[in-house]
Amino acid sequence: NLIELSSTFKKLIDESEIIAVASHLNPDGDNLGSVTAMVGMLNKLGKDVVFILDDKIPKSFKFLPNLSFAKAPNELQNDFDLFIALDSSDENRMGDNIKKVFEASKKTVNIDHHFSNTNYADLNIVDFKSPATCEVLARIFETLNLELSKEIATSLFTGLSTDTGSFKYSSVSSSTFLTASNLFKYDVDIDEVTVNVYQSRSREKTDLLIRAMNSIEYFHDNKIALVFVTKDDMEKSKAEKSDADGIVEFVRDIDTVELAILLKEKDDCIRLSLRSKSNIDCTKIASKFNGGGHVRASGGTINHTDLIKAKEDIIKVAEEQL
């Protein structure tokens, strides 16, 4: 239960001097929100803390507090007393470089909300009913009676908002709104979050969206729609990696579509993104492609670069789910 887990967590923090906080590759709002909130809280508790980052921060999240604590894995000088992994369903999601730091740390904690979480740490606080790791973390702070700050609340609210699709998904519960309500006691500036996260799409990202949408194909009575993001699309639009975020949701939001599929061409593989509306369990499809995630949002990897073959394979598996 959360009271016991939270107090064990606090004990581990109290016993540690130098603490690492990290999350998965391709950082999203929940991941950066939970990490920066954790960093802020550890600072408030007087701990020596490092945010380990092995990726680029998308422009829309650069407004988040505590990002200056970020260090790349190769800049680290010592091992850590405690390593806190956030929003990562398994240690591989953090990438090889961060995984090594995780393995070298004296004690490890895993705080997450993925159903597929493998309980890979010494202490695992995983609530797959929560729509966001930020909700889990907010409830841990509440359970421990830890006072937040405006900055910590802003971080937590950002992740809560992004992982719930702005409070639209069925994973949202009364506890989610209660959490949001408590965060707003700390004077969260909603305009700051909204403008940065939702109203700052760059021209390059917009161009990439247009290119991707030009590739759309429909299957199974228009219930399945698939788009590609090719390396050529990325180059021609001058987009950055995270600029492909949001495309698969745009496809999902077409009225007839039950399942949206995005195939993203990489140098040596194809990344798969899946989104569904109501009936389809994306994890069942993603698990056939070395992936996982949530019922309504999953991802995976196809270990070749033949986009046409990948399309045929994924459509076949998807049609079995309809």
CB of 92 to ligand 5GP, least distance (A): 8
Give the one residue of 87, 90, 243, 258 binding Mn ion; rule: CB under 5 A: 87
Give the one residue of 273, 276, 314, 318 binding ligand 5GP; rule: CB under 6 A: 273
Strand pairing category for 82-86 and 107-112: parallel
If the CB atoms of residues 211 and 271 are measured against ligand 5GP, the closer one turns out to be 271
Give the per-residue contact string, 194-233, with ligand 5GP (x = CB under 6 A; - = no). Answer: ----------------------------------------
Tell me which of Mn ion, ligand 5GP, none is bound by residue 293, counting a contact when its beta carbon lies within the kind-specific cut-off of 5 to 8 angstroms: ligand 5GP
DSSP single-letter state for residue 157: H
300 binding ligand 5GP? (CB under 6 A) = yes
- Give, in order, the Cα–Cα distances in Å from 59 to each of 196, 205, 208, 291: 8, 11, 15, 26
If the CB atoms of residues 4 and 268 are measured against ligand 5GP, the closer one turns out to be 268
- Give, in order, the Cα–Cα distances in Å from 281 to each of 77, 148, 165, 260: 43, 36, 17, 12
Footprint on residues 111-170 left by ligand 5GP (CB under 6 A)? 114, 116
Q: Measuring CA to CA, which residue among 207, 213, 203, 252 is closest to residue 234?
A: 207
If the CB atoms of residues 83 and 289 are measured against ligand 5GP, the closer one turns out to be 289
Give the one residue of 25, 26, 28, 254 binding Mn ion; rule: CB under 5 A: 28
CB of 86 to ligand 5GP, least distance (A): 12
Q: Measuring CA to CA, which residue among 170, 322, 200 is closest to residue 261?
A: 322
Return the range that interacts with ligand 5GP (CB under 6 A); candidates 58-66, 120-128, 172-180, 295-303.
295-303
Kindly tell me the sign of the dihedral angle through the C-alpha atoms of 268, 214, 278, 111.
positive
Return the range that interacts with ligand 5GP (CB under 6 A); candidates 66-74, 187-195, 221-229, 296-304.
296-304
Distance (Å, rounded) from C-alpha 78 to C-alpha 72?
Answer: 13
Give the per-residue contact string, 131-150, with Mn ion (x = CB under 5 A; - = no). Answer: --x-----------------
Are 3 and 139 in contact, with CB atoms under 8 Å apart? no
Q: Which residue has the tokens 């606080």?
A: 125
Tell me which of ligand 5GP, Mn ion, none is bound by residue 298, counting a contact when its beta carbon lies within the kind-specific cut-off of 5 to 8 angstroms: ligand 5GP
31 binding Mn ion? (CB under 5 A) = yes
Q: How many CB atoms lie within 10 A of CB 136?
A: 26
Encode 29-66: b = buried (16+ Cβ within 10 Å), e = exposed: bbbbbbbbbbbbbbbeeebebbbbbbbeebbbbebbbb
What is the CB-side half-sphere exposure of residue 80 using CA atoms within 13 A?
A: 30
CB of 257 to Mn ion, least distance (A): 23
Q: Measuring CA to CA, which residue among 237, 275, 234 is closest to residue 258?
A: 275
If the CB atoms of residues 99 and 294 are measured against ligand 5GP, the closer one turns out to be 294
Distance (Å, rounded) from C-alpha 296 to C-alpha 272?
Answer: 14
Return the range that interacts with ligand 5GP (CB under 6 A); candidates 8-16, 61-69, 203-211, 287-295.
287-295
Footprint on residues 150-189 left by Mn ion (CB under 5 A)? 163
Residues that bind ligand 5GP (CB under 6 A): 89, 114, 116, 273, 291-294, 297-301
